[in-house]
Each structure stands twice: as structure tokens, then as C-alpha cells.
């Protein structure tokens, strides 16, 4: 493994969701610890599953992994970090200021901006070589899916620059109040990230065209932020020897080889490792040690006669029928990165549009590219993307033209300075999200959301806005309709949780469902995507994986109250209008190519 050759102190694993970066980060931490190093494994993903991989409850405190001497782990919990951050700021004034004032401060500190700042504060402390990390030889970061990771790694520079020029007096004065004293910590973090002797980026991908193109964009953005020491790991490759004359296995192998041949030049120039597809879920220390051993895939003898899993009888078309019956509404696809939310959202949108319904397909995923999935247009289908940069600029201009119009030169300069805060992006994205929610009253809006953790931060912003409206209006707020109220209304919103029939994605999807229910949002249905059990296969390696799906599908059936679709792994990559239409198993007639 080249990416583990003479590793520096900090190792960052990032990439598109679902490519296996958590497994590879965990396996790397185990290998370093087995070599006698003291290792801290840190997850910065708001929807971390490191604890699930090791079978240990980790959370927001450094926890030893008993099976691996020398290895400890930490999951940065954004909510716990935010609460601790609020307590530090509000504690000194509680009992000193009037209760109403304290309550107002707490509300100001309740949004997604505070959550991000608090998690960022913990993240930079780990890079600053303080006493809490002095005893570790290596700190291995398992990061959130790509879009959120880019933002996290760019934040030290953004906050440092913002603090150096002072802060304004509007959008996030409350959350920023605790940052000033940590200015040197952020500068130290930025220095560590940009020093190739101290930091290495490991860019993880599957051999899929979209994943590799996104990885190239990630590389370019991180290089622009000053992070240059990068390695590439292509994970989960199907070996030719394991296709065993099976059409599905052969198709997977051919698609992967074609994607590798078309790998962007920016990635070709980097050191590269390749890992074989395994027959089992990568859960537990033994499986993690096997992941990086460089051997061929696990032996996979044919299953006994009759053990081949049956094809799952849960077509996506049945869910589309239920959605179409309402005539309009918001359909939100949520789930772990890499489970195929974009594909499922596009397939549902295409199916609804082909029925003559007015459909707006949009995405809040910073790393999503719907055009690469659709490869075409339909008369009834409008496509958009919440672009954080474009929305932030629109919001800045609107504030300057309204609030800034009556200010003198000094006041306008202060306002412009405040609008350069990274908090501004959260506000702008939330406003764009709210506009799209309102639009669903007259047409179908199908929303492809960001990977789970980022989506929960967006919903947190929605909840914060809801609470602020009710606080400001009192009883009158009962007549107001906030975005959260629309999301909670099953007549207006249908949330579909997308997962894979594997242990970790199902566990994370179950946790997402619990989070949604705590916010008063009841998921409408579940979709199990890329199922080998539904596709059927004779390749021994894939048969083993298909057999392992059955208990996971049964678990989803219990969690979803039987409103479930199982979508088979496809012979051809499901891109383009024809292939997307085929996923709904309806005869659509001829579609534009």
C-alpha cells in the first residue's frame, strides 16, 4: 500500500460517499497500530459509523479499541460539540442576565452554523499539536462525504481570514463569539494541513466514472486550498478471474475497467493503490486486517443447491404509483452517501414526468451532478441544483440591496464584512431549500439530498428557523407555515430512505429514521438499491454477497412497515433516460436518448 509508505502524522481519507473510505481508514489505523504506533482514529462525519465497524460504542470521547493495542478512536459528534460550545458561551451569563435575554442567546446559538463551528473547533484542536494529542504518532481522519469534507478542510483558512479582518454585527455574531480566542489554533491547523511532511490526503473511489470524476474535482479544490500531498485508492475491484462466466459479474468487471481507462489525468498523475472486492461486509477487526493484505478476493465456493437468494418482489413502480396518486408534493431521497440517492431521485422524477406530471428535480448535495445521471431532457421535467456558491452570492446581493441600502459607508463596509463569514453560506442554502419546499404545493418536487450528516444539518437549520418564528410570533405563529411544518406534513412531503443491503448502510439508515422521527418527520418508504439478491448471479463471489443481503432486506422490511422497494444491481450503469425509466419497471415507450 503506497499510501501507507512512510506515512506522516496526519492522514485524511475522503471521497464520494459509499466508496469504502471508513473501512480503509479503519484498516489503515489498525495496520499502523499493529506496527507498534500509537494511533488516534477520528471521524468527522456527522453520520459516523466507525463504532459500528469495530462493534464498540465510541462517541465524542477518546475510546480505546481493546482488540487493537495502541489504537484509540473518537467520533466528533456535531450535536454534542454544539451543546458544549453553547454551554461555554451561555454558562457565564446564566443567572446574571434576565432569563429572556439568555433564552434569546440560546436561540441564536441553536442553528446549523453553531453546529458547524463547534465541530470545526474540535477538528482544528486535533491539528494544533496540543497536549490532548501529544501522545499519538498518527492521527487518522475518516471524513464526511466529499462536499462536506471540502468545506471542513477549507474552513481553517476561511475562519482565519475572517477573524483577521474582524467580524461584523449580523448573521452569526452569536456563534462567532467564542472563536476569537482560538485564532492561533486555526492558524496552526491551516499550517498543518498545507505541510506535506505532516499531512497526507488519501482520495478513495470505486471504479465508476462519476466517482472518479468527482474525486478529480475534489483533488482540484483541495489543491487550490493548499493541500497537495495526495494518494488515490481505488476500492472494491471485481477481478476477471471471479466473473465465472456470469453475465452480471462480467458486466461489473467491464464497467470498472472502462472507468479506470477513462480516469481523469489529474488522478493518473498521483500514486495509486487498488483493492479487490471482498465477499463479506468489512465489519470487525479480522475483516479490516484482511482488507489491506493485497491478496486476491476471499475464497468464495459455490453455495449449496437451493441457497441462492430468490429475487426480491418489491418493484420501485409500486412506490411511484403511490407518489403519483397525490398529484403534487415534495419527495425527498435521503441516506448514506454512495447508496444511489441521485439515481433513485432521477428515476422517480423521470417516471412522474412520463406520466405527464409537472416535476422539478433538484439536489442539495454539494457534490451532486444530475446532468451526468439524466443525459437528456423531458418536457415535463425541470432540473436544478442548490449551488452553495451561487446561492451565497445571491443572498449577499439581496442583503446589500435591502438592508445595506440605507447604511452609510462605514455601516455598509461592516455589513459586507459580516457577509464574508462562512456562516452566510448556511443561511443562503437554507433559504434556497425553503423556496423549493414552497414550490411543492403546485407540482412534484423530487429532492436528491446531500449524504446523511449534511442533510441533518440542513434540517437542523429548518428546525431552528421554525423555533425562531414561533418565539417571535407567539400564538400568531400557529397560523404561520414554516419549512419544518411542511416536512412534517405527510400530505405534503414523502421521505424515502435509500440504503444498500449491507450491515453498515442499514444501521446508518435506521439511525437516520430515528433522527427524522425525533424531528416529527415520519419516513414514507425505504428503497434497497443495487441488490444482488434481486438481480440473481452465478458468480461465487457475488453469490456470497447476495446471500448476506437477505437478513439485511428483512431488517429493512421491519423498519419500513412493509412500504419497500428493492432495486436490482444493473447490467449497465443506470444513466440516461432509457435506463432510468427501466428502473421503475414500467413500459414507457420510446424516450429521448
395 and 441 in a common domain: yes
Check if the beta carbon of residue 580 is closer than 8 Å to that of residue 350. yes
Enumerate the H helices of 375-482 as residue ranges. 388-402, 409-418, 423-439, 452-473
578 and 460 in a common domain: yes
Give a yes or no: residue 49 inside a domain.
yes
pLDDT of residue 372: 79
Boundary of a domain, candidates 291, 324, 340: 291
366: cell is: 454539494
326 and 285 in a common domain: no
356 and 263 in a common domain: no
Burial class (CB in 10 A: 0-12, 13-18, 19+), 130: exposed
120 and 181 in a common domain: yes
Give a yes or no: residue 304 inside a domain.
no
Per this entry, what is the length of the chain?
Answer: 593
374 and 280 in a common domain: no
Task: Give bridge partners of residue 381 from the DSSP assignment.
Answer: 359
- Quote the domain boundaries for residue 492: 316-583
Q: Which of 14, 15, 17, 21 is catalytic?
A: 21
**Run of H or E residues at 568:** strand 564-568
149 in catalytic set: no
230 phi/psi in degrees, rounded to 5: -120, 145
DSSP notation for 495-553: EEEEEESSHHHHHHHHHHHHHHHHTT----EEEEEEEHHHH----HHHHHHHHHHHHHH
Give a yes or no: residue 299 inside a domain.
no
Task: Give bridge partners of residue 200 from the DSSP assignment.
Answer: 11
Give a yes or no: residue 53 inside a domain.
yes
pLDDT tier at 393, thresholds 50, 70, 90:
confident
115 in catalytic set: no
535 and 411 in a common domain: yes
Give a yes or no: residue 311 inside a domain.
no
pLDDT of residue 153 exceeding 60, the answer is no
Q: What are the tens digits of pLDDT across the range 558-580?
A: 998 778 999 999 988 898 999 99
Give a yes or no: residue 588 inside a domain.
no
Give a yes or no: residue 497 inside a domain.
yes
Higher pLDDT, 258 or 59: 258
Boundary of a domain, candidates 276, 291, 306: 291
Q: Which of 43, 45, 115, 373 is catalytic?
A: 45
Q: What is the pTM of this model?
A: 0.74
Q: Which of 14, 15, 16, 18 is catalytic?
A: 18
489 and 421 in a common domain: yes
Q: What are the tens digits of pLDDT across the range 504-561?
A: 788 888 888 888 888 788 899 999 999 998 888 888 888 888 888 888 899 999 998 7
Please tell me the distance from the alpha carbon of residue 118 to that of residue 179, in angstroms, as a whole number.
Answer: 9
22 in catalytic set: yes
Q: Which of 20, 111, 209, 453 is catalytic?
A: 20
157 and 264 in a common domain: yes
245 in catalytic set: no
Boundary of a domain, candidates 291, 307, 324: 291
pLDDT of residue 287: 83
CB within 8 Å of 379: residues ≥ 6 apart = 353
Per DSSP, which regions of 238-380 are E strands?
272-276, 329-334, 359-363
Domain count along the chain: 2
56 and 91 in a common domain: yes
Give a yes or no: residue 245 inside a domain.
yes
Q: Dihedral sign, CA of 39, 45, 49, 53?
A: negative
146 and 251 in a common domain: yes
- CATH code, 50: 3.40.50.300
328 and 440 in a common domain: yes
Amino acid at each position: 500500500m503506497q499510501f501507507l509508505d512512510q506515512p506522516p502524522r496526519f492522514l485524511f481519507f475522503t471521497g464520494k460517499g459509499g466508496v469504502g473510505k471508513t473501512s480503509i481508514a479503519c484498516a489503515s489505523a489498525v495496520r499502523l497500530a499493529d506496527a507498534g504506533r500509537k494511533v488516534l482514529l477520528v471521524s468527522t462525519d456527522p453520520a459516523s459509523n466507525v463504532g459500528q465497524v469495530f462493534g464498540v460504542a465510541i462517541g465524542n470521547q477518546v475510546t480505546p479499541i481493546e482488540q487493537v493495542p495502541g489504537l484509540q478512536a473518537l467520533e466528533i459528534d456535531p450535536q454534542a460539540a454544539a451543546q458544549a460550545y453553547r454551554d461555554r458561551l451561555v454558562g457565564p451569563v446564566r443567572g446574571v442576565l434576565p432569563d429572556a435575554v439568555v433564552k434569546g442567546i440560546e436561540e441564536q446559538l441553536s442553528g446549523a452554523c453553531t453546529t458547524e463551528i463547534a465541530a470545526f473547533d474540535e477538528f482544528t484542536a486535533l491539528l494544533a499539536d496540543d497536549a490532548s494529542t501529544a501522545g499519538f504518532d498518527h492521527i487518522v481522519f475518516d471524513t464526511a462525504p466529499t462536499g462536506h469534507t471540502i468545506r471542513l478542510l477549507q474552513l481553517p483558512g476561511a475562519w482565519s481570514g475572517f477573524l483577521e479582518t474582524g467580524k461584523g454585527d449580523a448573521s452569526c455574531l452569536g456563534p462567532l463569539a467564542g472563536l476569537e480566542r482560538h485564532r492561533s489554533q486555526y492558524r496552526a491547523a491551516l499550517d498543518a494541513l498545507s505541510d506535506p511532511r505532516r499531512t497526507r490526503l488519501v482520495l478513495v473511489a470505486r471504479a465508476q466514472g462519476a466517482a472518479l470524476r468527482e474525486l478529480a474535482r475534489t483533488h482540484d479544490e483541495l489543491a487550490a486550498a493548499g493541500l497537495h500531498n495526495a494518494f488515490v485508492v481505488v476500492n472494491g475491484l471485481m477481478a476477471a478471474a471471479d466473473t465465472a462466466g456470469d453475465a452480471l459479474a462480467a458486466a461489473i468487471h467491464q464497467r470498472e475497467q472502462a472507468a479506470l481507462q477513462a480516469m481523469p489525468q489529474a488522478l493518473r498523475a498521483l500514486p495509486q493503490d487498488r483493492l479487490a472486492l471482498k465477499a463479506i461486509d468489512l465489519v470487525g477487526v479480522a475483516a479490516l486486517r484482511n482488507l489491506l493484505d493485497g491478496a486476491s478476493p476471499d475464497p468464495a465456493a459455490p453455495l449449496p443447491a437451493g441457497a441462492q437468494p430468490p429475487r426480491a418482489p418489491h418493484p420501485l413502480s409500486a412506490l411511484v404509483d403511490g407518489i403519483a396518486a397525490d398529484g403534487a408534493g415534495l419527495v425527498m431521497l435521503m441516506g448514506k452517501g454512495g447508496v444511489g440517492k441521485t439515481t433513485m431521485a432521477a428515476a422517480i422524477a423521470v417516471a412522474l414526468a412520463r406520466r405527464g406530471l409537472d416535476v422539478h428535480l433538484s439536489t442539495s448535495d454539494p457534490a451532486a451532478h444530475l446532468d451526468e445521471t439524466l443525459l437528456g431532457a423531458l418536457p415535463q421535467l425541470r432540473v436544478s441544483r442548490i449551488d452553495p456558491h451561487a446561492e451565497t452570492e445571491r443572498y449577499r446581493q439581496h442583503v446589500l440591496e435591502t438592508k445595506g441600502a440605507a447604511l452609510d459607508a462605514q455601516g455598509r463596509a461592516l455589513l459586507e464584512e459580516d457577509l464574508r463569514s462562512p456562516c452566510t453560506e448556511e443561511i443562503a442554502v437554507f433559504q434556497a431549500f425553503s423556496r423549493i419546499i414552497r414550490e411543492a404545493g403546485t407540482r412534484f418536487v423530487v429532492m436528491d439530498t446531500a449524504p446523511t450528516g449534511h442533510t441533518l444539518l440542513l434540517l437542523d437549520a429548518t428546525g431552528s428557523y421554525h423555533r425562531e418564528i414561533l418565539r417571535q410570533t407567539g400564538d400568531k405563529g400557529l397560523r404561520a407555515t414554516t419549512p419544518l411544518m411542511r416536512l412534517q406534513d405527510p400530505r405534503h412531503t414523502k421521505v424515502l430512505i435509500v440504503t444498500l443491503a449491507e450491515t453498515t448502510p442499514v444501521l446508518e439508515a435506521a439511525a437516520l429514521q430515528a433522527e427524522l422521527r425525533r424531528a416529527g418527520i415520519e419516513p414514507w418508504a425505504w428503497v434497497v438499491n443495487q441488490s444482488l439478491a434481486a438481480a440473481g448471479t452465478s458468480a461465487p463471489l457475488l453469490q456470497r454477497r447476495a446471500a448476506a443481503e437477505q437478513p439485511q432486506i428483512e431488517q429493512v422490511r421491519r423498519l419500513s412497515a412493509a412500504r419497500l422497494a428493492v432495486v436490482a444491481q444493473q447490467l449497465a450503469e443506470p444513466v440516461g433516460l432509457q435506463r432510468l425509466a427501466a428502473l421503475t419497471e414500467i413500459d414507457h415507450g420510446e424516450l429521448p436518448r
